Amino acid sequence: MATRIVTITDHKSGKQVECPVYEGEYGAPVIDIKNLYKELGMFTFDLGYGSTAACRSAITYLDGEDGVLLHRGYPIEQLAEKSNFLEVSYLLLHGELPNQVQSDEWTHAIKMHGMTHEHLSRFYQGYRYDAHPMSVLAGVCAAVASYYHASTDIHDPESRMLTARRVIAKMPNLVSKIYRHSSGLPFVYPDNSRDHVENFMYMMFSWPTEPYVANPVALRALNLLFILHADHEQNASTSTVRLAGSAETNPFACVAAGVSTLWGKAHGGANEAVIEMLAEIGEPKNIPKFISRAKDKDDNFRLMGFGHRVYKNYDPRAKIIRQACHDLLQSMNLNLPMFEVAMELERIALEDEYFISRKLYPNVDFYSGLIYQALGIPANMFTPMFALARASGWIAQWMEMMADSDFRIGRPRQLYIGAQRRDYTAVADRG
């Protein structure tokens, strides 16, 4: 329902278009410009989508000015403290927290879908032991599509829900196999006597000849990281999943597309890049040199784990992770020199005019890698861990899009700046 009208006038032709304005529950109102091209023959131009709402969504809200993040209305701080990853995944998908019966049914269903087709295991053998795990993950996610292609009806809500359960259930299995392959260890089947996160740890780290007992401190930390990474509104990978899905492609192929986008170091790949950066800095005395490089416009180095398109305040997830990292290191009695470097880097950056004036704060990736490192997870597995968690958000967003009555293929337009029309010349006549 429009609350007001914005009139856009082309002062050259004198033509006007009236655009309705819609208010969401929170956040900036949106101007509906769907008649712009019809009435004025013009497109909008918004590089990087800084002012474009690409969809309507009821899943996640974030307020970048105040550093607020809500999933289905619940503040991230409360979910991080009181919930667990599987429950948050349910919440993202269904819109409500489950009651006991729903929770039991959900947990059971996720366990039942945790296996992958035995032949899928052979896909991993095609990758070198040192292949980047995100490349493997994109490949195997797309491969899963082949097992469920004919049987998936994306226009049937029940079939979609089955797919969503499969995605959430299989990701730990798919990710753990990447680590096992790279380490020369045998694959481990899920053990349904364990809960979701514990099962992941078990498939990753258990030794064939020994009983596996998960460290409860590690389980809590991992649960927390997965909750904090589960969804984040219309970020690059989620938008990729939606765009791919809008073409009515297989949902596992959409997830593979999301994995590919997440890999980039401006997005999920930042967690791995932060650790590389902290290792390169080495000691607090080297920090000023890296701060200067980050400020130098002739140097493409950026402070990894700093800055965010939406947050112009401390990322609420980073606040939680920073404390969790501190607590984890203390409870494990671990002295991680990188944590000291990270805290000092943060302190210096937050007092620097360059970062203050651009409102650049630590983001979710700044401290998450340190937790993963403390848990013994290799740096190149950090982004697959992010993907494991974010897959629940991707599939919830895909479900929402598929059920939208205004579902349409996503098809952006462009400002063409190429050559004018010209005629083909034979190769002999070309200069």
Active site residue 365: yes
Question: Which is closer to ligand CMC, CB of 32 or CB of 352?
Answer: 352
- Closest chain position to ligand CMC (CB): 307
Specify the residue, 231 or 365, whose C-beta has the smaller distance to ligand CMC. Answer: 365
CB of 235 to ligand CMC, least distance (A): 5
| 195 catalytically annotated | no
Residue whose CB is less far from ligand CMC, 195 or 276: 276
- Residues of this chain that bind ligand CMC (CB under 6 A): 48, 235, 266-268, 270, 294, 302-309, 358, 360, 363-365
Closer of 53 and 97 to ligand CMC (Cβ): 53
Task: Find, among 141, 90, 116, 126, the residue nearest to 203 by Cα.
Answer: 116
Out of 113, 196, 229, 308, pick the active-site residue: 308
Minimum Å gap between C-beta 358 and ligand CMC is 4
Q: How far is CA 207 from CA 172, 211, 366, in A?
A: 17, 7, 31
- 380, 369 Cβ separation under 8 angstroms: no
Least Å distance, CB 309 to ligand CMC, is 3
Q: CB of residue 416 vs ligand CMC: minimum separation in angstroms?
A: 24
Choice between 118 and 353, CB closer to ligand CMC: 353
Please report how close the Cβ of residue 159 comes to ligand CMC at its closest, in angstroms.
30
List, by residue number, the catalytic residues: 308, 365
